[in-house]
Amino acid sequence: MRMMQHTVKSCRLMQISEDEALAVGGLLAKVFPKPDKGPVERAAQLKRIGQEYDGPVECGPVSHIILQEDRVVAHAVTFGRTVGANAGELTVMALAYVATDPECRGQGLGAAVTHAAFARVDQGVFPFALFQTSFKVQPFYEQIGCKLVENRVYNSLNEEDPQANPFWDDVLMRYPASEGWPIGEIDLRGRGW
């Protein structure tokens, strides 16, 4: 079966318009429903990522969007995050808010938006991407070149439990699956994404 080509729009979150943020917020609320997080709250979460970022511009947060008929049908966010590793510090690309409209699944939208996000690694902006996912979605990521992260991960800045895993999903993965990933523990130095 031949997959369709999809155009992915990438925009820096510091410059995302209110309409774009609300459209993405609508998709995120649909895919990740929570009673207290509708489209407006999800749009605010997205904009906050852009507002709170204070690192180098090239590592700044980017929203990757696929539109169909002026509707956001797929999305992913990427941003730089410096973590502690055995060799010191490592700035990885955080991948978050990956979502595809359930009504549009099976069209290759998830793969297209994820490949667009991973292009920041492929272009050398970051050495690796780091993200969480579910057991159900793990095979999808493995098929596109990702690998399971087996390091213990913690957040030394968590005042309640600095040794706790800051991620909440079942699986922690990285891209690419190539050599060079640090061995030993990873200190996320902040909350999960």
pLDDT in tens, the chain (193 residues): 345 689 999 999 988 999 999 999 999 999 999 999 999 999 999 999 999 898 899 999 999 999 998 899 999 999 999 999 987 999 999 999 999 999 999 999 999 999 999 999 999 999 999 999 999 999 999 999 999 999 999 999 999 999 999 999 999 999 999 899 999 999 999 999 9
Contacts of 95 (CB under 8 A, 6+ apart): 76, 77, 78, 114, 117, 118, 129, 130, 131, 175, 193
34, β-bridge pairs: 37
**What does residue 126 show for φ and ψ, rounded to 5 degrees?**
-135, 150
First to last CA, the chain: 34
What pTM was computed for the model? 0.93
How many CB atoms neighbour CB 142 within 10 A?
A: 13
Domain residue limits, the chain: 8-187
Backbone angles phi and psi of 32, in degrees to 5: -120, 70
Are 60 and 80 contacting, i.e. CB atoms less than 8 angstroms apart? yes
E strands in 32-110 = 62-68, 71-85, 88-100
Neighbouring CB atoms inside 10 A of 149's CB total 18
Q: Phi/psi of residue 63, each to 5°?
A: -100, 125
Which among 54, 90, 94 is positioned nearest to 77, based on CA atoms? Answer: 94
Nearest CA to 109 out of 76, 82, 142 is that of: 76
**Cα–Cα distance measured from residue 2 to residue 7, given in angstroms and rounded to the nearest whole number:** 16
Fold of 8-187: Aminopeptidase (3.40.630)
